[in-house]
Amino acid sequence: MPGRTTKEDTPQDAQMEDAPTSAQVGEAQVEDEIEEDQEEEVEPQRVRILPGSTDTAASFEFIDEGHTLGNALRYVIMKNPDVEFCAYSIPHPSEPKMNIRIQTYDGHAVDALKKGLADLQDVCDVVAEKFWTKREEYNAEHGIAR
Amino acid sequence: MAPSKKASWTNAPDAEELEKRNTVGIHKETVTHNTSVDFPGHVPGEDEAFSLDRFRDGFSVDFHQNDPFHASFSLMGIDASLSNAFRRILISEIPTLAVENVFIEINTSVVQDEVLAHRLGLIPFKGGKEGLHNFLKWHKKPEPGEDAYKNSYDWNTVSLELNVKCTLNEDADPREDDPRKAYHNAHVYARDIVFTPTGAQEQYFAGDDAIAPVHPDILIAKMRPGQQIGLTMHMHKGIGADHAKFSPVATASYRLMPIIKITRPILGADAEKFQKCFPDGVIALDKVSAKEAAQKGSGYESHVGETKAVVADPMRDTVSRECLRHPEFEGKVKLGRRRDHFIFSIESSGQWDSDELFMESVKHMKLKCKKLEQQVMDMVR
């Protein structure tokens, strides 16, 4: 029936946990988007090391990621002085996959990837903080109350 | 060994060199220096490694406009790969609520069912922010063959109704030829859609917070007496990557800050012609001062009081390159764009405020990285 409501004692995320996993692509995307408060749900593994990789030269496959993350991650990883080479590619446009290749002078490729993801988070914090400060300043200056 | 580590000496590029590296060259028929080169090892002895403090010092924001439907601001000191990520997230990854299922009971109008459903899907809706962003969650589509209403609850489905019937207006002049006056409900508008709250929606979407079309005057269909539309709609949360109707922005784009450099004086009638090569307000006309004329080698000698062209507001330029087509300006002007100055323009479709959307895209990017960081750790384990 339309407009059904859940009983107060039923946790909302239980609805999604009970659902059987299916092979449909659309579903994987939905699960990807589930918000933080539903994190107890087991997320499928979306990152793997491709065969043929060594400690200092590895390729990683990301499922359900694209140019948005690929290029940003490539940039911060290239900023790491221990990294000799980093590039990303989307092998085929109809597969939801993104590959990243990392070769290092020193240390593990996995560590360079981890550092890249951590640096990106730091960048986001700085951008958000500065953006909000400026927005508040601009709104105060122009009498915008929202 | 990393080349930057081998070098015991360190160089810092001077201001001129930095400006050169930060400029995308725009010439008559080509665009040059369009890739970033701020990577360690690109220039021997230079330290270009990522450091959060350096990023924080170099990064700045400047607001130009901040309305709910249009925000414009500059991000400076950030690479294209990062600002492009924010732009892409704005368009395709921030969730909004839109009509997903239309249950048509009767449709005798000339608009076919599927066309009508498509039109309804594209109407942007607004509602209480708390309810839209925190209360409403994802809806899981029922499997083929399952009950269409399965998985629909007050926390993931918003129900709307549209019931209109066109009738003859008995009070109208029989010779009246405006159908809107001659008939009742000849035009069906977005404002005719009725929101039917269920369960907790009554608290989250009460009064001004009710789910309603952003623009009440959107024309959905036209009818004649005897025709009727009766349908129920289910709205779900979705993302722009799935369907454009879920995209929270009408446009989200950026352009690079234009640079216009007058390298040799442009004087007199040429200055006026030069001004006309650009949009209004980009080039201003000024008089050559005595001080400038006194300066040897400035090119202003013995031109006191003449008109000269000066750059007033390069941001308004569209970089049409018109000035490069005229021989009289050859060698006198250089065009370019600043590689790390992004002028963003975000137009919201109404469900979010435009500035709020950018914040959301940054938050989204961070969350994405956080989740993947965990995934990488799980992968190693």
Please report the pLDDT score of residue B229 as a whole number.
97
| H or E, element range at A103 | strand A97-104
CB A75 within 8 A of CB B35: no
B235 closest CA partner among B197, B208, B203: B197
Structure tokens at A110: 């996995």
**Structure-token match 């059987």, residue found:** A20
Q: Spell out which residues of chain A touch residue B88, defining contact as CB-CB under 8 Å.
A: 67-68
pLDDT at A23: 44
By the 10 Å C-beta count (0-12 exposed, 13-18 middle, 19+ buried), B376 is classed as: buried
Chain A contacts in chain B segment 50-109 (CB below 8 A): 50, 52, 55-56, 59-63, 66, 68, 73, 75, 78-79, 81-82, 84-86, 88-89, 93, 95
- Cβ of B66 within 8 Å of Cβ of A144? The answer is yes
**Whole-number Å distance between alpha carbons of B189 and B183:** 15
Residue B108 main-chain phi, psi, to 5 deg? -105, 10
With tokens 């009440």, the residue in question is B216
**Rounded-to-integer distance, Cα A111 and Cα A121, Å:** 15
- Whether the CB of B35 is below 8 Å from some CB of chain A: the reply is no
- The Cα–Cα gap between B271 and B206 comes to 61
Cα-based angle B338, B340, B346 (whole degrees, multiple of 5): 100
Rounded alpha-carbon distances, angstroms, from residue A99 to A51, A58, A92, B34: 12, 10, 10, 24
Cβ-contact A75, B79 below 8 angstroms: yes
CA B306 to chain centre: 43
Name the strand (E) or helix (H) holding B253. Answer: strand B249-262
SS3 category, A90: coil
- Angstrom CA distances, A132 to A6, A128, B54, B73, B369, stand at 37, 6, 20, 12, 21
Contact B182, B174 (CB under 8 A): no
CB contact under 8 A, B89 and A68: yes
Residues in chain B with CB shorter than 8 Å from the CB of A119 are 50, 52
Looking at residue B300, what is its pLDDT? 87
Task: Report helix, strand or coil for A42.
Answer: coil
d(CA A144, CA A12): 37
Tokens of B134: 């925190």
Verify whether the Cβ–Cβ distance A126 to B375 is below 8 Å: no
Cα separations (Å) of B174 from A120, B13, B138, B187, B222? Answer: 70, 83, 52, 19, 20
- pLDDT tens sequence for chain B (381 residues): 565 555 556 677 888 888 999 999 999 999 999 999 999 989 888 888 999 999 999 999 999 999 999 999 999 999 999 999 999 999 999 999 999 999 999 999 999 999 999 999 999 999 999 999 999 999 999 999 888 888 899 999 999 999 999 999 999 999 999 999 999 999 999 999 999 999 999 999 999 999 999 999 999 999 999 999 999 999 999 999 999 999 999 999 999 999 999 999 999 999 999 999 999 999 999 999 888 888 888 888 888 889 999 999 999 999 999 999 999 999 999 999 999 999 999 999 999 999 999 999 999 999 999 999 999 999 987
CA-based nearest distance B377→chain A, Å = 8
Q: Average pLDDT for consecutive 10-residue bins of chain A (146 residues)?
A: 47 47 44 47 88 96 96 96 96 96 95 97 97 96 90
Task: Give the nearest chain B residue to A31 (CA atoms).
Answer: B138
Instruction: Give the model confidence (pLDDT) of B211-232 as tens digits.
Output: 999 999 999 999 999 999 999 9
Helical (H) or strand (E) element with B105 = strand B96-107
Q: Which two structure tokens, joined as six digits, stand for A51? A: 């065969």
* Cβ pairs A/B, distance under 8 A: 194
pLDDT of residue B148: 81
Phi, psi of B329 (to 5 degrees): -100, 0
Q: Give the containing element (helix H, strand E) for A136.
A: helix A109-142
Q: Is B201 exposed, middle or buried (0-12, 13-18, 19+ CB in 10 A)?
A: buried
Chain B CA closest to residue A129: B359
- A16 contacts in chain B (CB < 8 Å): 138, 140
> Residue B94's Cα: distance from chain center in Å?
13
Q: Would the CB atoms of B379 and A48 count as touching at under 8 Å?
A: yes
Which candidate from A74, A80, A133 shows the least CB-CB separation from B81? A74
Beta bridge partners of B32: B25
Rounded to 5°, the CA angle A86-A87-A92 comes to 155
Q: Where are the alpha helices (DSSP H) in B188-252?
A: 201-204
From A126's Cα to the closest Cα of chain B, the distance in A is 6
Interface test with B, best of A7, A122, A123 (most B CBs within 10 A): A123
CA distance B353 to chain A (A): 9
Alpha carbons B34 and A103: distance in angstroms, whole number: 25
Return the residue in B198, B375, B381 with the most chain A beta carbons within 10 A, the one to mutate for interface testing: B375
Report d(CA A50, CA A61) in Å as an integer. Answer: 7
* Contact of B17 with B38, CB cutoff 8 Å: no
Q: Which of B121, B50, B108 is nearest to B79 (CA)?
A: B50
Residue B169, burial from CB neighbour count under 10 angstroms (0-12, 13-18, 19+): middle
Partner residue opposite B52 with nearest CB, options A62, A122, A134: A122
Name residues 272-311 of chain B within 8 A of A (Cβ). none
Q: Taking the model in full, what pTM does it have?
A: 0.88
| Residues of A with Cβ-Cβ distance to B362 under 8 angstroms | 124, 127-128, 131
Question: Which among A72, A117, A133 is the nearest to B373, CB-wise?
Answer: A117
Q: Which pairing describes strands B158-165 and B194-195: parallel, antiparallel, or unpaired? A: antiparallel
